[in-house]
Every structure is written in structure tokens, then in C-alpha cells.
Chain A
Amino acid sequence: MDNCNFTMDLENNNNTQLTGKEPEKFAEKRKSVITSDDKAGETKRLKVADPVVKATQRPPTQSPKKRLQLNGKPKHNKDLNFTYGNYKHYYGKRILDKDFHDIRLDVLGTKPELFRGKQLLDIGCNSGHLSIQIARTFEAKSLVGLDIDRGLVKDAQNTINHLKRQVDNKQGFPHNMKFVQGNYVLDDDVLLEIERPQFDIILCLSVTKWIHLNFCDSGLKQAFRRMYLQLRPGGKLILEPQSFDGYKRRKKLSEQIRENYNAIKFRPEQFTEYLLSSEVGFAKMEPMGTPEHCEAGFKRPIQVFTKT
């Protein structure tokens, strides 16, 4: 018979018992964090300045999950050439829940009487997603959407055409909607002389930054004057301006935009005063509200300016 020097720990099934003092061999599982940064934003540092682009360069299509930003930051930055904020999948970034409900509708919805039976203009309507919801939800008499990007206007028009085929009625929504391509900023201030009142409500939501960066103080001021002139007596401008700190990261979009950014003297804090001054002529400003449950980057106050 052999003499063995080990003992069998039959009770523990011969397993090594951990004392709890062993060093960590496995890394901690990394937690996935969704930051509250405005993701519509990150611009890669450009090695070469982009030439001023007139048409948008289309990014490759993304899967819906990526579009809705459910996995965190996007892999590739698709915002390189959207110099007018003319993002192709803008409303994907804005959508928060499966119902595709733009949070701003909650604020606008506190005063539905502003829109019911009225003739609306939506400046910078992008693919028309929000415009369509506003017109439908609040039963506007008509809505014209304007955007500088021809592709986006085409998308909006396609959406309307699609809706038209789905409904039986020949009048009212969506037949009362139209989308137009163009630059709201005119070639020359003198053309304001022949502008005429034609709308009850003008919506200018998250557009001022883009007008400002592309067309400078003079362009934005002219746009404000044009809005006033296009409103009927008693008409209202619903303004959602971006704050200045959001401008900085955009200045890399192009040489021209960088130049324009550096030349800005007219700050968003001065917008209200300017709109109420004799240069424009609005009679009063009332805050309408700020969207609550959304990313901090989109928490922009919405204001109502009234023309007597």
C-alpha cells in the first residue's frame, strides 16, 4: 500500500475554496452610458476646410436603431456638410418615443387656438415632419413649409403626396399643405419693400442659428423684418432660437461659416429687444414654454411675438 500526502475534500467536492482575498482577474463589465450632449452636434476635426457647399451630400443610410440613437454615439459623423442644418435624418434625433411625437408639440399644444383655422408658414421645415403634425393636430387652415434644401423639400412633398393617396377627402388636410424650396433670406434688403402680409402664424423653430451662421447678422435681421412684414395684423411669430453656445461647434463646417461666426455681434440675448424695436415692430413677446422631457441640447424656450 502507497502512502499519499494529499487529502480529498469530499464535502466540497474537491473544489478549491475561495478565501475572498484573491486578486481580480476579470475587468468590471462596462456600463453603457447615454450622455445628454446634443448628438446632433459632434463635428470631426477637419483637416482640410470644406468648400462652401450648396447641395447637401447625402450620408449612407443607417439602420433605424442607429438613427434613433438607441446605441449611444454614432460611429461616423454624418453632419460634416449640413451647413444649413439641413440634416437628412433630423427628426430621428428629435424623436424620443415610439409614437414619433416631437416634444415641442406639447408646448405648442398649450395654445391650440393660435393655429386652428389659421394660415401658417414654417420656416426651415426640413422634411416636413413637424409641420405636418402641427397642421394636422391643430387643424390649421393651411400650411406652407419652406426649406433651403431641395432634397428635403422633395421628401416633405412626397410625404404629403403619400398622405393624399391615403385619404378620401379632397379638401382640408393634407391638401392644404405645400412645401417650397428657397432661401428665406432675400438677395437684397430692398426687396422687403414689396413684401406683403399673407400669414397668420409664422413658425421659426431652431432655425435662427443656421440663418445666423450662413447669412450673418444682416441676414438674420432681414429675416426677422421679413417675418414681421409677412404677418397680418394680429399675426404671431413663434420663435425657438438656439443659444449662442451652440454656435461654436458649428464654425468648423466651412471657411465661410468660421468667418461669419467670428463676425457675429448680434447675440441671441438681443433678439427679443430687436424684434420689439421699431426696426421690426412686434408689439409684445410672451414666453410659451420650454420642452421638458428631452435632451438638454433641445431644451430651447419657445416665444410668441405679436404684431398689432
Chain B
Amino acid sequence: MVKTKGNAKKFGMHPRNVLRQPPDYTKLAIKYKDFRKECELELNGKVSVNFRNENTLRELTKMLLKEYFDLNVDFAPGSLVPTLALRLNYILWLEDLMEPLKLKEIKGIDIGCGSSCIYSLLGAKKNGWHMLALESKLQNIEYARENVKKSQLEDLIEVYAQPEKTSIFKSYFEKDQQELQYHFCLCNPPFFDSNLSNPFGGNTRNPERRPAPNNARTGSQEELTCVGGEVRFVQRIIDESLENKLRVRIFTTMLGVKANLPRILDYLKERQVANVTTTEFHQGHTTRWAVAWSFHAELLSQERSCS
């Protein structure tokens, strides 16, 4: 659906998203030298940002994290550069899910934190959440730990090196003798299926109504693809959640492809998981979907359904 002014509430960013108002890039270019180098100066003195350039995206996200959250983050070369608007939308949705629980101390699991460790950093810095960041790729682990250190959040964030990629919670939960309870988990799964001949080929039926995203694609093969793509990955999270029903209060994950949402909902239904809710994240031309499920008594609020 075309995003018009009237639809901004339904199709815009989360109401509390600080990026709901586009930043003044000219002011920011004056303030931040590294970001400035990536910008273009127009005749009228305003600065413009080319989102289709990978380096520009990297400096942009670094700058926004510094400006809005005072976080100092570096990305491993070639690794996925997260877009802040989307990450914020996810964190804000989690805040909404946590709010009715009225908890004093919140603990969360970041499944596949990447080199930026951005979800954990945002959760810890913005909300004081205790985060367990799981990551299997060595280079990403090193960068993530460095980013946590630079942002002085070592007492809130633990980066755990996953020994193998096939399991999600298993190795950590097995070693954790205390059997700590977590309140949520979050995940940005690898969207694409490495088994397909053209993993990145989209199948939109309507390219005019669904224009390509404004930004360049970033990230390594490992971060973007896995066997069976996001469906298989999320199914594994669901399987493991069934084995650890009460260790995590609310399980959540993002999905990149709209068609995969009903597949996941069916998978949950087949396993008699009834307490389920979904949401959408809107930023620019891009929409993402998210699912949350829980084995606890409190029903998850059905805030909005996907059309």
C-alpha cells in the first residue's frame, strides 16, 4: 500500500522512534568529520546522503549511534551494516511487550548479535537491560566484544561465542548451571536460503508498488544466508523454545519476507503454541515482520495483525 500522510500512523515508524523525524544531515555533517566525508554538498548548501553506498551507510549508522545514543561502534569490514531505524523499531516493540510485566530488572538474549552487537548495545544503553549476545562468527565476536568495551557496557552485556551454528540456546543453557530466567529473546535471522540457485532473488509480484530499498545491501554470505533461509532458522528457534519453555518469557524473531510469516504461524499452530502475536516494522520503503510467542500464562497483546 502506498504510504501517504494519512497512513503514517499505520505505516510509519514506531511512535517513539527518534528517527521518525528525518535527521538534519547538514547539521550532523558539520558536527561529525567522518560522516561529513561521505556526504555530498548541494549548491544550496544542504548536505545529501547517498544511501546506496556501503561506506556511507557504515559512517551514517556509526554517526547516528553516537549522536542519539552516545554509543561508539565499529563494524567489521564486509559485515552487515545495520540500519538504525529498523533496529530501533524492534527494540521499541520489545519495550512495549515488557511494559505490562512491570519488571525491575530485564534480561534478554540477542541471537546472532553480529559485529556491531547493536541490539544488545541499544537495549543496555537505552533501557539498562542485561543482555546475553550469542554469536558464532569469530570476527564478529571480536568486534562485538570491542564495541561493548568501547561503550563501557561490559557489566550489562555478555558476548558468548557459540561453538556451532546448528543450535541456538542449547550450548549456553547447558553450560549455565544457575538456570537463569530470561524475559525475552530477539533475532534477526539470515533472511535468504543458501540452498537456492538465486538466494537474493526477490519474488515481488508488483515491482512498481514495491520499489527497491533505498540502501545498499551489506553483509557476508554467512550473515545473510543459511540452509533453508529464515524459515528453517526460525523453526529451529521454535523447536528449542519448546524444550526450554519457561527459560525465556517471550520468544521473538524478525522475518524479512512477508510470505514466510504465515508459514511460521502455521508451524507454531501445529505445535499447539497458542499465545502468539505479530507486528510490522516500517522504515522507508522497507517493511519487516516479527513474531512473538510465549508459554507463560499472560496473554500477549494482539496489537495489530498483518494485512
A interface list, Cβ under 8 A from B: 121, 144, 146, 180-188, 190-191, 193-196
Bound CA–CA A182/B45 (angstroms): 7
Can you list 21 A-B pairs with a CB-CB distance of less than 8 A? A121-B43, A144-B43, A146-B44, A180-B43, A181-B44, A182-B46, A183-B44, A187-B30, A187-B45, A188-B30, A190-B33, A190-B36, A191-B29, A191-B36, A191-B45, A191-B47, A193-B37, A194-B36, A194-B37, A194-B39, A194-B47
| Residues A193 and B36 in contact, CB atoms below 8 Å apart | yes
| Residues B44 and A182 in contact, CB atoms below 8 Å apart | yes
* Known pairs A186-B45, A190-B33 / 15 extra A-B pairs, C-beta < 8 Å: A121-B43, A146-B44, A180-B43, A180-B44, A181-B44, A182-B43, A184-B45, A185-B45, A186-B41, A187-B45, A188-B30, A191-B36, A194-B36, A194-B41, A196-B41
Interface 1/0 per residue, B35-67 and A, CB below 8 Å: 011011111111100000000000000000000
Q: Is residue B26 contacting chain A, with contact meaning CB distance below 8 A?
A: yes
Place the interface of chain B in its size category: 10 to 19
Q: Which residue of A lies closest to B44 (CB)?
A: A182
Bound CA–CA A182/B41 (angstroms): 12
Bound CA–CA A180/B44 (angstroms): 7
Bound CA–CA A291/B283 (angstroms): 57
- CB contacts (< 8 Å) of A187 on chain B: these are 26-27, 30, 45
B interface list, Cβ under 8 A from A: 26-27, 29-30, 33, 36-37, 39-47
- CB contacts (< 8 Å) of A181 on chain B: these are 44
Bound CA–CA A234/B26 (angstroms): 30
- CB contacts (< 8 Å) of B44 on chain A: these are 146, 180-183
| Residues B45 and A195 in contact, CB atoms below 8 Å apart | no
| Residues B43 and A191 in contact, CB atoms below 8 Å apart | no
**What is the CB-to-nearest-CB distance from B48 to chain A, in angstroms, rounded to a whole number?**
11
Q: Which residue of B lies closest to A198 (CB)?
A: B43
| Residues B45 and A194 in contact, CB atoms below 8 Å apart | no
- CB contacts (< 8 Å) of A180 on chain B: these are 43-44
Interface centre among B27, B33, B43 (most CB of A within 10 A): B43
| Residues A183 and B45 in contact, CB atoms below 8 Å apart | yes
- CB contacts (< 8 Å) of B45 on chain A: these are 182-187, 191
- List the 6 closest pairs (A to B, CB-CB), nearest first: A182-B44, A188-B30, A186-B45, A194-B41, A180-B43, A195-B41
Bound CA–CA A203/B87 (angstroms): 47
- CB contacts (< 8 Å) of A184 on chain B: these are 45
Bound CA–CA A190/B45 (angstroms): 12
**What is the CB-to-nearest-CB distance from B128 to chain A, in angstroms, rounded to a whole number?**
36
- CB contacts (< 8 Å) of B43 on chain A: these are 121, 144, 146, 180, 182
| Residues B39 and A190 in contact, CB atoms below 8 Å apart | no
Partner of A190, one of B30, B40, B42, B46: B30
Q: Which residue of A lies closest to B38 (CB)?
A: A194
- CB contacts (< 8 Å) of B37 on chain A: these are 193-194
**What is the CB-to-nearest-CB distance from A229 to chain B, in angstroms, rounded to a whole number?**
10
Bound CA–CA A144/B46 (angstroms): 16
Q: Which residue of A lies closest to B30 (CB)?
A: A188
